Structure formats: C-alpha cells, structure tokens
C-alpha cells in the first residue's frame, strides 16, 4: 500500500506535482474530490468546505455561528464537523488503495499507513508568479501576495489545531522540494525514482 501525501505552500506548485505524480505513477490523486465528498456528506456547498480549509478555522468559527442564522444550508454543520468529515473522507479514500493526497494534514492523519511525505515550497517571487499565471480572476500582485500569506497562515494554524505538529517542519516530511525557478514537470522523473526506491524496502 502506497500513500503519498503532499503538503505545500500556496503557489509552490504542490497541486501540479500531485497531478503529474498521479499520471507518472498511475495512482489517483485526491484534492478537489475531497471537497465534493465532504460537501455531499455534510450537505453543504463545496465552496464552504473549501473556505473552511483555506481559512483559519478559529476565525471562521465565530463568524459562521452568526451566519447559521441566515444561512440555513450551514445550520447542522459547524467548521469542526466539516473538518472531522474531511478526515473521515480522506481515510475512506486511502483505504481504496494506493493514492496521493494533497494537503489537509493527511500526512499526520495517515501516519499509521506510513505515507511518503512531500513538502513543496518556493520563494515568494516564484509563488506570486505561479499564482498569477494560474489565477482566473484579475487579482493584482499585491492581492496575490496577501492571499499567499493568508492561506499559508491558515494552513499553519489549522495544522496546529488538528495535529501535534507545526506546519512545514522538515523533520515531518521525507523530502522537501524547492520549486523556485523550476519547471514542475522537470522534477517529476527524479521524484518518481526517489519515491520508488524508498518503497522498494
């Protein structure tokens, strides 16, 4: 059983690495699918699930308690419920067989399945450039810069809440990859070889 988890800084290309590794290894990658399954289970909008996992929960929480009064679709489901459901969905998906899971502290959640844990990072310039290229809105560079900071801060805080490990501490990953000034596709063959060798034993 081969579970690969990818944790990543926003804009570092972690999601692309996940998709390309999925193609190269012939195993599924779970990313948005987790959102849809959680939304389905909790009977709420996928956008809300995404918002919860991209925002610092401790901030979403009080707001959404207020929101529940006017947003009935959220009535029976608190952000904590959503995160618990997310953990269940991840474990269920992983139990289907070899896979790659993006983010969501899956590396800690799946620890008993001995995942291969990747952390993807980059310098700010590269992350802004990559985010701008992929953005389908007309966000400015400054807005992107703020978004990167905000999302990464939320990821760090949510990881602290859901696990006993700080986000991005290198000891918690098997390999950490700097994508600054690199084409993601060039990194895949080496990464595949590295993962395969680690799994041989």
Residues that bind its own copies (CB under 8 A): 121, 123, 170-171, 173-178, 180, 182-183, 186-198, 200-201
3-state class (DSSP) for residue 33: helix
Let me know: does 100 contact 4? Beta carbons within 8 Å. Answer: yes
Rounded Cα distance between 41 and 32, Å, is 14
- C-alpha 152/C-alpha 138 separation (Å) is 21
Element (H, E) at 177: strand 175-178
Least CB distance to its own copies at residue 12 (A): 11
Nearer to its own copies, 7 or 31 (CB): 7
Nearer to its own copies, 30 or 116 (CB): 116
Residue 175 CA to residue 159 CA, distance in Å, equals: 19
CB nearer to its own copies: pick between 92 and 125 = 125
Query: Smallest distance from the beta carbon of 187 to its own copies, in angstroms?
Result: 7
Nearest to 22 by CA among 130, 184, 135: 184
Q: Which is nearer to its own copies, 92 or 185 (CB)?
A: 185
CB of 10 to its own copies, least distance (A): 15
Q: Smallest gap, in angstroms, from Cβ of residue 84 to its own copies?
A: 29
């Amino acid at each position: 059983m081969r579970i690969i988890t990818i944790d990543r800084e926003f804009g570092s290309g972690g999601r692309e690495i996940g998709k390309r590794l999925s193609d190269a290894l012939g195993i599924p990658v779970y990313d948005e699918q987790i959102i849809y399954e959680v939304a389905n289970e909790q009977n709420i909008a996928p956008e809300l699930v995404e918002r919860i996992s991209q925002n610092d929960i401790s901030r979403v929480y009080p707001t959404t308690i207020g929101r529940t009064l006017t947003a009935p679709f959220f009535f029976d489901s608190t952000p904590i419920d959503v995160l618990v459901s997310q953990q269940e969905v991840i474990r269920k998906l992983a139990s289907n067989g070899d896979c790659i899971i993006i983010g969501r502290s899956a590396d800690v959640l799946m620890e008993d399945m001995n995942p291969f844990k990747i952390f993807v990072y980059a310098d700010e310039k590269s992350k802004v450039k990559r985010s701008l290229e992929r953005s389908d809105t007309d966000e400015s560079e400054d807005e992107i810069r703020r978004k990167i900071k905000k999302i990464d801060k939320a990821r760090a805080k949510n990881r602290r809440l859901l696990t006993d490990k700080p986000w991005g501490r290198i000891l918690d990953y098997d390999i950490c990859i700097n994508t600054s000034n690199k084409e993601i596709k060039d990194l895949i063959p080496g990464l595949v070889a590295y993962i395969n060798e680690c799994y041989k034993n």
